[in-house]
Amino acid sequence: MFEAHARMRRKAPCIDLGPLEYWASVGCAIMQCSNTEVGAGTMNPLTFLRVLGPEPWNVAYVEPSIRPDDSRYGENPNRLQRHTQFQVILKPDPGNSQDLFIRSLSALGCIDVNEHDIRFVEDNWESPVLGAWGLGWEIWMDGMEITQFTYFQQAGSLQLMPISVEITYGLERILMLLQGVDHFKKIQYADGITYGELFSENEKEMSAYYLEHANVDHIQKHFNLSEAEARSLLDLGLAIPAYDQLLKTSHAFNILDARGFVGVTERARYFGRMRSLARQCALLWSKTRESLGHPLGVLSEPNDLVSKEILEVALDKVPVEPRLFVLEIGTEELPPDDVASASQQLKSLVVQLLETKRISHGEVLAFGTPRRLVVYVESLSSKQVEIESEVRGPPVSKAFDDQGYPTKAAEGFCRRYSVPLKSVYRRTEGKTEYVFARVVESARLAFQTIAIFLRLYFIYSFSETEFKDDKWLREASVTPVDLRSRHALMHGQGLCPYVLCAEAANSYLARCLVLSEDLPGSIAKISFQKSMRWNSEVMFSRPVRWILALHGDLVVPLIFAGVLRQVLGPFCGFLLF
């Protein structure tokens, strides 16, 4: 198919070896089609089996796809029982898969993406036979669907991790669009030869077979025999030939369906039988790859920790006065219903977070487009509101012994709330006298406290002099009591480094991590009718590709789903870090 019109670039738009060369250049292995009838490139074992498990896999291949129900005797301009797909699998998602696809169109040799209307239109794909589903888009060019773009979520009824990206091109449709013809028969396949001259008779005769002459009894027997053979092969631990037999059952079912001999009830039963085989093949294949030690390697989830270097830049930019706060979440194309819903949810969640964390603010506005969710917070304070509260401790009878000395219960109460014993007072409630204390939760700079915690979190080493001179630690009221000395481990080096001990870490985490820690959690609470994963266990409507978080001039240290915040969105093409 790609050789079509290799010599006709000047005569008509064409497709040649460009896509193969392009996808090979970005790391895909160029493979061959299946030697068994399949309804789509997805069913090729190069896709179905290889998207399972933790190993990386990048592949591209041409797949003739056989769909008996699309038989039209060659008369329908867009529907063929045998059409040609070009299949690409990217595992894991590289993070710029949409961009790679757009560039691939130029690699077709004759598509200027600036001259065509290319749209990503919501489409949620599923295969009941394979127990597979995913979210993504139909891709339209000038109003015609040319490609299916899917982030696989399950295959063989198994949850996938890492997630694979499937890009499936419809080559006949692309050629029709580029050559400006209104029927697949008119496609110029090679010099002096049309697509119709090559394949029209094939369409007529195979349509007659699928729709009129296929022997239903024989096809049902083929289904049963292939199913039995698949189960026998599974018992022998042979996943690949078992899956090949599953493909034969699928093709037999498609013929029965085209002949009109499959009712609603029978359809569900057939699907159940094939889905069961697909799951068993998937489980066996996964077990086999594990027993081999995953020869291609094992992928891991992205690190969600903000780097020390980024924190260093942010430390000296903490605003003192209230400033505008902007949060922008950049995504791939969201479904229309999700845009309005998510923007309002995000506004509510941000307001809730600010009120919970006692950070005063002005008006909060939310906006949404298919690729952006934005919240503006006017006059966001850089400091929390200080509050004082009364806390009740243990009964006096348990807080002090008979001589009036404090017990471990009293000491634990004071230690828990960081109050001196002399500040504790007594009051009777009901018939019991309790000890009480006034606890002041001090106001902290919303982002300064983040930097304080994270500076400790990333295990800085401080000499005693550096510790005393560090303004951030001093303003945080961190003392050596809160830190665990590793002096013994550094004996003889003249240093006494400190790291935050576990108890102090929990305390500072609870009161210091404000927006940097809690904003990702708020984003994760946005709900959608259908959500997906793309590079971690985080769920969202479509992949998040960038995050902009600014408070005045401060770039807020923030990571969500492995995505580091940017200084400006991609519209300017510039990143600070």
Position 22 scores a pLDDT of 93
Per mean pLDDT, which of 15-24, 430-439, 551-560 is the most reliable? 430-439
Same-fold call for 18-214 versus 308-383+514-566: no
Average pLDDT for 119-141:
96
Query: How large a percentage of the chain has pLDDT more than 90?
Result: 62
In this prediction, residues 474-495 reach a mean pLDDT of: 39
Enter the pTM of the model.
0.78
For β-strands 82-91 and 165-170, DSSP reports them as antiparallel
Q: Indicate if the pLDDT at residue 505 is higher than 70.
A: no
pLDDT, residue 128, reads 95
pLDDT of residue 304: 52
Task: Give the position of tokens 């078992």.
Answer: 242
Give the model's pLDDT for residue 319: 64
For residue 142, give the amino acid letter.
D
Count how many Cα atoms sit within 13 Å of the Cα of residue 245 in the half-sphere of its side chain. 22
pLDDT confidence tier of residue 425, bands split at 50, 70 and 90: very high
Q: What is the pLDDT at residue 508?
A: 34
**Cβ-contact 34, 64 below 8 angstroms:** no
CATH number for region 18-214:
3.30.930.10
What is the pLDDT at residue 159?
96
The pLDDT mean for the chain works out to 82
Assign residue 220 a region (left: φ > 0; alpha: ψ between -120 and 50; beta: otherwise): alpha
Helices assigned H by DSSP within 418-501: 448-457, 464-469, 471-475
Q: What is the pLDDT of residue 566?
A: 54
Q: Where are the beta strands (DSSP E) in 273-385?
A: 323-331, 364-369, 372-380
Q: Is the pLDDT of residue 219 over 90?
A: yes
Where residue 356 falls among pLDDT bands split at 50, 70, 90? confident
- pLDDT recorded at residue 440: 80
Domain spans of the chain, in order of start: 18-214, 308-383+514-566, 387-441, 448-512
Does position 480 have pLDDT exceeding 50, yes or no? no
CA–CA separation, 539 vs 533, rounded Å?
A: 5
- Of 7-11, 41-45, 155-159, 542-546, which gets the smallest average pLDDT? 7-11
Q: Tell me, what's the pLDDT at 560?
A: 82
Residue 116 Cα to chain centre, angstroms: 28
pLDDT digits (tens, 9 = 90+) for 298-338: 987 665 555 555 555 555 565 668 889 999 999 999 999 99
* Eight-state DSSP code of residue 303: P
| Rounded average pLDDT over 191-203 | 94
The dihedral built from the CA positions of residue 245, 251, 254 and 260, taken in this order, carries a sign that is negative
Which DSSP symbol is given to 572? T
Is the per-residue pLDDT at 231 higher than 80?
yes
Residue 315 near residue 451, CB atoms below 8 Å: yes
Q: State residue 555's pLDDT score.
A: 77
Task: Note the pLDDT tens digit of each residue in 42-89.
Answer: 999 999 999 999 999 999 999 999 999 999 999 999 999 999 999 999
Average pLDDT (252-260) is 97
Q: What does the pLDDT read at residue 94?
A: 93
Supply the DSSP symbol for 71: -
Q: Provide the CATH number for the domain formed by 308-383+514-566 in this structure.
A: 3.30.70
Confidence of residue 162 (pLDDT cuts 50, 70, 90): very high
Region of poorest pLDDT, from 262-266, 452-456, 541-545: 452-456
Predicted pLDDT of residue 284: 98
Predicted pLDDT at 303: 57
Q: Do 58 and 145 meet the contact criterion of CB atoms below 8 Å apart?
A: no
Strand boundaries in 463-561, DSSP class E: 483-485, 498-500, 544-551, 554-555, 559-560
Q: What mean pLDDT is predicted for residues 443-464?
A: 42
| Lowest-pLDDT range of 32-46, 259-273, 383-397, 563-577 | 563-577
Angle between helices 502-512 and 448-457 in degrees, nearest 10: 160
pLDDT at 511 over 70: no
Residue 275 backbone phi and psi in degrees, to 5: -65, -35
Among 142-151, 375-384, 438-447, top mean pLDDT goes to 142-151
